[in-house]
Amino acid sequence: MTKPLAVPVDEDHVRSRRRSIKDTMLGLAFLGPSAVIFTAFFFYPLYRLVWLGLHQQNRTGTRERWVGFSQYADTLTSADFLDGVRISATYVLYTVPLGLVLGVLLAVVADRKLRGIKVFQTIFASTVASSVAVASVIFFVLINPQVGYFGDVSFLSLSDPGSALRGVALSSVWQNLGLTFIIVLAGLQAIPAEINEAATLDGYGPFRRFWRITIPLISPSLMFLVVVLTVFAFQAYAQVDILTGGGPAGATETLVWKIFSDKEPSQYGEGAVMASGLFVITLGVTLAQFRILEKRVHYGA
């Protein structure tokens, strides 16, 4: 009821509490700017995405009505969405294995002590300097049906629905080559020299050494690349935008393309649902990455 008089001030606690309050204030101040950005551009849109998926807007985007999960059910089973997933998945198949094999080839060849090897390493890494847009222009020059150097190679023809996606994919393979090369080379260089020397003393020839020693030891880097290249492939947009515009006959309409190809307000809900689908796919790939990384930690320990 009444306050006790003359409480002895416990200096210890006053001090340590003051310190922890100071830490908390500073922590909030330090995290504040990032937290604001993340809230506005990551968490709030996630909520909006769900909200949009549950509503349908009128043609002008001025009114919306609750449609519940039916929009999810309809959109995720629609031919349009499934088509996008199929095309994106095909794109993954075209880009990831080929990109990986070429990257490993470049890295293995460039990982040796030769005079001037750095020049070759820089050349092999050089495609990291090109953005998706730049790579697309470069391949526009190479495979555009009207003006491209390889414009008449039917295997890559951008004017044929059967081959256009391959042409687009090739630009991605080339563009990601630098990154793949850099990461595989770093993996190779992290292998202690003694391991290779021991294998040589054990009588392993170069090929057996490659399959039995090198590949297992760089497998973490390869796994990482599989994930990154897969995510990149699922996000392909600029290539399509610059090289084909989704054509011919929708043959290069990747998932992301379908989500963003100009939609009128009444289709926002659909776009939102598709974006959620993309999110689930990306999440799946990323979680797989974490599983793999975890395994790797156990392996290393």
Assigned token pair, 181:
């090369």
Q: Specify whether the CB–CB gap between 224 and 96 falls below 8 A.
A: no
Is residue 296 at the binding interface for other proteins, with CB under 8 A as the rule? yes
Assigned token pair, 119:
């020049």
Nearest one of 286, 282, 260 to 272, comparing CA atoms: 260
Residue type, 146: Q
Site string for other proteins, 82-111 (x = CB under 8 A): -----------------------xx--xxx
Among residues 82, 93, 141, 215, which is the contact residue for other proteins, using CB under 8 A? 141
CB of 271 to other proteins, least distance (A): 5
Site string for other proteins, 258-277 (x = CB under 8 A): -xx-------x--xx--xx-
C-beta closer to other proteins: residue 18 or 86: 18
CB of 161 to other proteins, least distance (A): 18
Among residues 78, 90, 130, 266, which is the contact residue for other proteins, using CB under 8 A? 130
C-beta closer to other proteins: residue 76 or 128: 128
Please give the radius of gyration of the chain, using alpha carbons only, rounded to the nearest integer.
27
Nearest one of 170, 169, 167, 180 to 128, comparing CA atoms: 180
Is residue 70 at the binding interface for other proteins, with CB under 8 A as the rule? no
Q: Which residues contact 167 (CB under 8 A, 6 or more apart)?
A: 139, 143, 156, 157, 158, 243, 244
Region of 67-75, 79-87, 90-98, 114-122 interacting with other proteins (CB under 8 A): 114-122
Nearest one of 152, 133, 131 to 143, comparing CA atoms: 152
C-beta closer to other proteins: residue 225 or 251: 225
Cα distances from 146 to residues 150, 153, 259, in angstroms, run 10, 12, 29
Among residues 49, 67, 98, 288, which is the contact residue for other proteins, using CB under 8 A? 49
Binding-site size for other proteins (CB under 8 A) equals 110
Site for other proteins in 185-244 (CB under 8 A): 185-193, 196-197, 220-221, 224-225, 228, 231, 235, 237-238, 241-243
Is residue 76 at the binding interface for other proteins, with CB under 8 A as the rule? no
C-beta closer to other proteins: residue 83 or 111: 111
Q: Specify whether the CB–CB gap between 176 and 125 falls below 8 A.
A: no
CB of 230 to other proteins, least distance (A): 12
Q: Specify whether the CB–CB gap between 178 and 127 falls below 8 A.
A: yes
Assigned token pair, 215:
């590949």
Among residues 1, 7, 129, 201, which is the contact residue for other proteins, using CB under 8 A? 129
CB of 68 to other proteins, least distance (A): 19
List Cβ<8 Å contacts ≥24 apart for 120-124: 121/185, 124/177, 124/178, 124/181
C-beta closer to other proteins: residue 54 or 142: 142
